[in-house]
Amino acid sequence: MERESALGVDCTVGRWIYKSKAPRQTLRLTNSTIVAPSYSGSQTLAQSGPEANAVNLAFPGKIVRPASFDEVASELKQSRSLVHFVCHGKDETAKGQLLLLDGGQQLTDTGLRGILGLKEAFAKRAPVVFLNACEVGRGNPALIGPRGFAAQFIKLGALAVIAPLWSVEDSIAHEIALEFYLKAKARSGRPLAEIFQEIRKRAYQSGRDSYAAYCFFGDPLARVD
């Protein structure tokens, strides 16, 4: 059967949640806050440690340890230019979205809004947020507007948010994160959404839908300065 390619393969796509406030086209990445909880048993993410170290090497900052709610909340307020999560995530449409932290603790999308001082910190630095966690790129409707982590981080002041729409394979998620940061650093001036356009094509070449899961919230022409 003849068919056209998906829109996200043919076009450089960026999503946004505001109708009147456009995202910036110039982003600056210099340092990072990295949240990589230590899981055990069946929840273990084999690539979590290597990914956290790789991001910290590319954009030196701090790997939050332990990745408890209090520690994560404190480090999110340090005004670093990149916030990277590599952890388990879940979208419970009726209850909202959550990220699983150390010790069975959780960070929810609504709980994010309750961290005192976070809005001021994000307004000061306007970071890029990469949520390498399953399902947290979804946008769910609510009475007060879009909810979910992407919407909440944008409302706080993030310039761009990257997150998967559905569950992804750990090894592919790790591969995508490293490729994104490598290309973002190596080819200055290239639109970040274009990198994900290239990655998305692999889903149709390989049959692995993890490559198509990642959504870029931001201006489709946004570049790293």
Please give the pLDDT value at position 20. Answer: 67
On whether the CB atoms of residues 76 and 89 are closer than 8 A, the answer is no
Please give the pLDDT value at position 188. Answer: 66
For residue 84, how many other CB atoms are within 10 A of its CB? 28
Please give the pLDDT value at position 186. Answer: 80
Task: Tell me which of 15-19, 53-57, 102-106, 214-218 is least confident.
Answer: 15-19
Burial of 179 by CB count in 10 Å (0-12 exposed, 13-18 middle, 19+ buried)? middle
Q: Read off the pLDDT of each residue in 185-213 and give the average, rounded to a whole number.
A: 89
Please give the pLDDT value at position 51. Answer: 96
Q: What is the pLDDT of residues 100-157, one digit of tens each?
A: 999 999 999 989 989 999 999 999 999 999 999 987 766 655 544 567 899 999 999 9
First to last CA, the chain: 43
User: CA-to-CA distance for 43 and 22, rounded, in angstroms?
Assistant: 38
The token duo for 25 is 């086209």
Q: What is the pLDDT of residues 181-192, one digit of tens each?
A: 999 888 667 899
Residues in Cβ contact with 36 at an 8 Å cutoff, skipping those fewer than 6 apart: 48, 49, 51, 52, 63, 64, 67, 85, 86, 87
Task: Tell me which of 60-74, 92-106, 117-131 is least confident.
Answer: 92-106
Please give the pLDDT value at position 81. Answer: 96
Residue 54 has pLDDT above 70, yes or no: yes
Q: Which domains does the chain have, with CATH numbers?
A: 7-224 (3.40.50.1460)
